[in-house]
Structure 1
Amino acid sequence: MFTDHATIKKIALGAAAAAATFGAGLLGAVPSVAAGPEWHGSPAGAVFVQNNGAAGNSVTVFDRSDAGTLTRAGSYATGGLGGAETGAAVDPLASQGSLTFDSPAQLLFAVNAGSNTVTVFKVHGDRLQLREVLPSRGLFPTSVAVSGGLAYVLNAGGQGSVSGFREVDGRVVPLPGSTRTLGLGNADVPAFLQAPAQVAISPDRAHLVVATKAHNTLDVFSLGRSGEPTAAPVVTPSAGAVPFALTFDAGGRLQVANASGSVSAYQLRAGGGLSLVSGPVANGQAATCWTTNARGYLYAANAGSATITGYRVGAGGGLSLLQPSGVSATTDAGPVDIASTADGHFLYQLATGAGAIDEFSVAQDGTLASVGAVTGLSADNGSGMEGIAVS
C-alpha cells in the first residue's frame, strides 16, 4: 500500500490553496430548468457540466460557437443526488470521468454519488432527454467509461468496485456477472485520497483500467467478448505517486496523470500487465489530476497551481513538456475536470474554485490561447461542481 504521507500532505495542501478563493460564487443553487436563452445561430456543439448538488444533481448545457465560446442553453435534473468525498477541497468527487459523453450513441452518463445511481441522458444537440436512472451496483459512484456500446461504472465507496452495462437499442442495461470488487476497505463515503480516481476502457476494448490513489496502483482487468472482466485484476505499481487521470494516446498507450505533479505513459500487454514507456515526467506544478488529448498533445490540469501543463507525445509514446516552466496556460482558481473537442481545436477547463469554465483554442503547435470564460456558475453542496464533457 502507498504510504508516502509527505506526498499526500503536499497534495492536500496544494488543493487547499486552490480552495482559498472558493467563495460566494459557489453557494447558490443551480436552477433545474428545461431551457435557457434562445440560440440565434448554429451551434458547433455543446459542453456539459455536472453541478453535483447534494440536494439534487443536475447537468447544465452550453452551446459552443465556431469560435469556441460558450452560451448557456439550459439545465437538466439527473433524478439523483450529488456528493462529496471526505476532505475534498475543490474536487468533491476526486475523480475523472464523472460526466461522460458517448458520441456514437449520443448518450451522456452522469454519476449521482449521493444516491448510488447513474443517470443516462439522450443528447439532442443542446437538449437532454432523461432516459434512465440506474443503480450503480456499488457505493459512491465517481467515474464512467464508455466504448463501443460497453459502459463501466467505478464505485469508490466501501470495498470499491467496477460494474458493467450494455447499450441495447438505445437503452442501457446491466451486464450480468460484471461486478468486481477492488478490495479497498474504504468508508461508504471515502476520503478523497483513499478513493480510486478513474475507470477507463482501452481503445481495443480488451482491458479495463482503474487508478487507485492510496494503493498507488494501476489495476487492469482483461475483458471477454461480451465485456465481462476477469475475476481479479493484474496489479501494477504506479511509476508516479498517486495515479489519478487515465487517457490513451493515438497508439493506444495508457497515459496516467499523477497527483504528485507528473505524467507517465505505459504499454498495455495482452494479459493485463503494464510496461513503462515514459516518465514520470515532472511538471513542477501541484495536484496534477485531470487530463485530455487535443491535436496529438496531452494537457493536464493542476488544481493546486491553477495552471494547465502541455506535453508533447512522441511517436513511441514518449512524453516531454511543451513549456520548460511546466505551464502552458493559467486558469481561474481550482481547475478540476478538463475536456476538448473531437477535432482538438478547443479545450475547456472547469475551474470549480472560481465557479467558471475557462475556454481555450489549441494551435497546431500545441499553444493554448484564451478565447473567454463562463463565470458565475454555482453549486448547492458546498464543495462544488465536478464533471465536464464535450460534444
Structure 2
Amino acid sequence: MRRKGIIALVLAAATMLAGAGRATADGKSHHRDTGRTHAVFVQTNKPRSAGGNTIRVFKRAGNGRLSAAGEFKTGGNGGAVAGAPTDALASQGSLVHDGRLLFAVNAGSNTITLFRVHGTKLRRLQVTRSGGLLPVSVAVHHGLVYVLNAGGDGAVQGFRLKHDRLHRIAGANRSLHLGNPARPSFVLSPAQVGVDPLGRFVLVTTKTNNTVLAFRVGHGGRLAKRPVSTRDSNGPFAFTFDTRRTLLLVGVTTNTLTRHRLERRGSLRQIGAPVPNGQQASCWIQRVGNFYYVSNTGSSTVSSYRVEHGRLVLLNGRAAAIPGGGTIDMTASGRFLYVQNATAGNVQGYAVNDDGSLRLVTTVTGLPRFANGIGMEGIAAS
C-alpha cells in the first residue's frame, strides 16, 4: 500500500508539471494563463510634432482578445525612411520585449529607450544615444544589446546591459559603409539586426544591397572590424532562426522565404530553393510554435510556412487577408499571432490552430494610420 501511494503521488506530480507548460520548437515553454498578466505593446512612432513616440499597451485575455491598458512616452521622437510604402521604419525589431524589459527605437531623435515591464505598466529606465542615425532595429542576447542605425553609412552599436542600464561597448560600433543620406530611402536602408542563438554572430540584412552581413562577436560583446558578407538576390529583409544553426530569410524582391545554414565563419549556405508565396512585398516573419508567418504589406496578407524534415513548405499563401490593412510587423503571445496594420491603424489578433491555420479573435483600432510617409511601426508581446 505504501508503494502504491508513492507511485500515485509521483504520477500526480508529473501530471501537474505537464499541465503547467508546453515545450515548443522555439525552445520556450508556453505556459497556460495562471494569473500572469500578458500584454501586447505597440509603438506609435509619432514624430515630435504629434507629441513624440509612445508605446500603447493592450492586455491580452486568455482567449486572445485585447483591451486597452495605457500609453507611455518613450522620451524620444518617431521617424521614417524616405519613400516607404506603408512601413515608416522599413525594418523588423524596432520594439523588442525580453523578459522584464522592453526596448524601443526613437528614429527621429537617434535614441533608444529602455523600459521595465510590470504586467501592463511600463516604467522608463533610460533614454540613450543609439550610436548612429535613424535607429530602426534592436537585438538582445544574454545581456548584450545591438542597435541597427539605418541613416548615412549605417552602423551597428553594441551595448552591455547591467543593472537595468545600457552601457556602450568600446569596439562595438561598426559602420556598414552604405553611403546613404542621413534619411535613407526605403529600398536602401538596412532592415534588421539579430544575434544567432549561439551568440557567435551579429547579423544585418541590407535589402536591395542584396547582402547579409555577419559580424563575429568577440570578448565582452566587441564586434569584428569587418563582417562576412553573403550575397542574396532575393532582397533580404527579415529573418528568424528555426534551429540554433539554421535561419529563415524573407526576400522582399521575390516574395519568398529561404532556409539557410549559418556556417562557422559567418557565411550563409542556402538549403533548398526559395519558396514563393504568390503575394506582394513580403517583409516580416514571426514564429509561433512550429509555424512561421510572413506578412506581405503589398497584398495585405499573411502567409504560413512550416519546416518538415528539413524542407521548407508553404502551407497557405493567404493564411489571413486584412482588408485595407497594409500588414507590417507581427508578434506572438502564447498561441496567438498579432499583426500590425499600418494603413488601417489597427492590430488584429489570430488564434493559431493545430494545422497552422489562423482564426481572427480580436481587432483593436484607433492607432496612428500611415500617412505622408510616417505611421506606427513596432510590436512586441509578453
TM-score (norm 2): 0.87
Matches of 1:279 and 1:100, distance apart in 2: 31
| Matching residue of 1:120 | 114
Which one is further off, 92-101 or 240-249? 240-249
**1:42 Cα offset (Å):** 5.4
Letter in 2 for 1:385: M
| Matching residue of 1:96 | 92
**1:225 Cα offset (Å):** 3.3
Equivalent position SS for 1:275 = strand
| Matching residue of 1:255 | 248
**1:361 Cα offset (Å):** 0.4
The answer as to 2:119 corresponding to 1:129 is no
Of 320, 326, 329, which aligns to 2:313? 320
**1:289 Cα offset (Å):** 0.4
Equivalent position SS for 1:176 = strand
Equivalent runs, 1:1-391 vs 2, <5 Å: 44-55=37-48, 56-103=52-99, 106-238=100-232, 240-260=233-253, 261-316=255-310, 318-323=311-316, 326-332=317-323, 333-341=325-333, 343=334, 345-378=335-368, 382=372, 383-391=374-382
Equivalent position SS for 1:320 = strand
Are 2:125 and 2:164, in contact at CA under 8 Å, matched by a contact in 1?
Answer: no
Letter in 2 for 1:336: I
**What are the ranges of 5 or more consecutive residues in structure 2 without an aligned counterpart?**
1-33
**1:363 Cα offset (Å):** 1.2
Question: CA 1:43 to 1:378, structure 2 compared with 1: closer, same or farther past 3 Å?
Answer: farther
1:68-120 Cα shifts (integer Å, max 9, x gaps): 110010011111110111111210000000001112xx111100011100011
Are 2:277 and 2:314, in contact at CA under 8 Å, matched by a contact in 1?
Answer: yes
**1:43 Cα offset (Å):** 6.2
* Structure 1 runs (4+) greater than 6 angstroms displaced: none
Are 2:113 and 2:128, in contact at CA under 8 Å, matched by a contact in 1?
Answer: yes
Are 1:186 and 1:194, in contact at CA under 8 Å, matched by a contact in 2?
Answer: yes
1:288-346 Cα shifts (integer Å, max 9, x gaps): 00110011111000001111000011242x211002xx1111124110001112x4x10
Equivalent position SS for 2:208 = coil
| Matching residue of 2:7 | none
Are 2:37 and 2:119, in contact at CA under 8 Å, matched by a contact in 1?
Answer: no
Which one is further off, 307-316 or 69-78? 307-316
**1:376 Cα offset (Å):** 2.0
| Matching residue of 2:23 | none
**1:381 Cα offset (Å):** 7.2
Equivalent position SS for 1:353 = coil
**What are the ranges of 5 or more consecutive residues in structure 1 without an aligned counterpart?**
1-40
Are 1:295 and 1:366, in contact at CA under 8 Å, matched by a contact in 2?
Answer: no
Matches of 1:278 and 1:124, distance apart in 2: 43
Q: Which one scores higher on RCO, CA 8 angstroms, separation ≥ 6?
A: 1
Equivalent position SS for 1:354 = coil
| Matching residue of 1:3 | none
Are 2:37 and 2:120, in contact at CA under 8 Å, matched by a contact in 1?
Answer: no
Alignment RMSD (CA, Å):
1.5
Q: How many pairs does the alignment contain?
A: 343
Equivalent position SS for 1:94 = coil
Matches of 1:287 and 1:62, distance apart in 2: 28
1:219-246 Cα shifts (integer Å, max 9, x gaps): 11111132211111100011x4211011
